[in-house]
Amino acid sequence: MHVEASKFTRSRICAMALLAGPLLAHAHGDWESARADAHAPIGVMGDHVHDAGEWMLGYRYMPMQQEGLLNGSDRVSREATYSSVADGGFGYHNAPIDMDMAMHMFEVMYAPTDRVTLMAMFNYIDMDMTAELHSHGGHPPIRYDMESDGLGDTALSALVRLTPLDSPHQVIANLGLTLPTGSITEDDDMPHGPGGAPMEMRLEYPMQLGSGTVDLQPGLTYVGQAARWSWGGQGIATLRTGTNDEGYTLGNRANLTGWLAYLWRQELSTSLRLAYLTWGNLDGQDDEIPPMMSPAADPRAQGGERLDVGVGTNWYLSGGVLRGHRLGLEFLVPIDQRLDGPQLETDWSAVLGWQYAF
């Protein structure tokens, strides 16, 4: 943090020498919540707490696009995915082509005390996948679409502020869990009937809406603030408990992220973030999902790791009837990903959010 310390000192001197008005207050070193970067980039959840008695409502729209297949960090063609093992392929019946996902996330926060903020997040998920069934018996490959949408798992957490209330360095313990409100029995038509006729089948694991288990989400968040700069880091694990009703457990996950934000003026900040995500393969399997149908149906082709870089901007509306409303936008692209494959590669994701505290 040497760079931060020198920037911190330099900007404090600048602020004291040059600035009057609201920015001068920041130079005193208290945590300032009425500024754009007092919340992390909008793609980070559970990054901030509220003062006793305060409520917050929020909504995030999170699109994500995946296209093409990777095994490790190597590209794999559709043909190789559904060619027989004897021909040097992977021997699946289908190969995913692309997948579009959009999540609508609604959040409510309430702070019963200055130390503890409670948070609930509800998701509505909408997914489309295009896949191709291998050619057989003189039939050309058949391309088809699958869809699923509905409520995802519901996240509940307590955010416990561990540091002094007004410190410019805040440490928050994230004590979270998710409830299995998302369906794991979504079906759609696939061309597996006679002569490629549509037949309703259980969708593959990435197209299911929930984990089917109660998942623990412990984590730790640190945020720091100076006059013009702010920064933070967060680590959150997702630990599955037990086995779901279809006989499997999704892999555990870990998210590690760090960011740096610059405050252009009280209402506007921009951010740069690195996000590392790792997730495991399935334990067990759903007997209605034949594992050789597609790599997306294979319990051993689900895990991976990815490093994203994100650029973002936060707006904090400080006056007029919209005082206290926040808007955030973040755009993330992977700079490295290694997948247990063949598995769909992530091209980009984005988060557009609104928050209002009162």
Residues contributing to the site for Cu ion (CB under 5 A):
56, 109
Query: Would you list the DSSP string of 129-143?
Result: EEEEEPP-TTPPPEE
**Nearest-approach distance from CB 219 to Cu ion, in angstroms:** 16
- Shortest-Cβ-distance residue relative to Cu ion: 56
**Nearest-approach distance from CB 159 to Cu ion, in angstroms:** 9
Give, as one character, the DSSP assignment of residue 295.
G
Write the CA distances from 10 to 7, 16, 226, integer angstroms.
5, 10, 10
**Nearest-approach distance from CB 233 to Cu ion, in angstroms:** 18
Identity of the residue, 59 or 84, whose beta carbon is nearer to Cu ion in the bound complex: 59
Identity of the residue, 56 or 69, whose beta carbon is nearer to Cu ion in the bound complex: 56
| Residue among 167, 266, 300, 283 at smallest CA distance from 223 | 167
Identity of the residue, 38 or 250, whose beta carbon is nearer to Cu ion in the bound complex: 38
Identity of the residue, 233 or 324, whose beta carbon is nearer to Cu ion in the bound complex: 324
Residues pairing with 76 in the sheet: 69
Query: Would you list the DSSP string of 29-45?
Result: -----SSGGGS--TT--
**Residue found under tokens 């040059």:** 18
Separation CA 276–CA 103 (nearest Å): 20
**Nearest-approach distance from CB 265 to Cu ion, in angstroms:** 22
Identity of the residue, 4 or 54, whose beta carbon is nearer to Cu ion in the bound complex: 54
Identity of the residue, 56 or 289, whose beta carbon is nearer to Cu ion in the bound complex: 56
**Nearest-approach distance from CB 43 to Cu ion, in angstroms:** 15
**Nearest-approach distance from CB 59 to Cu ion, in angstroms:** 12
Separation CA 92–CA 297 (nearest Å): 9
Separation CA 268–CA 326 (nearest Å): 10
Separation CA 158–CA 50 (nearest Å): 12
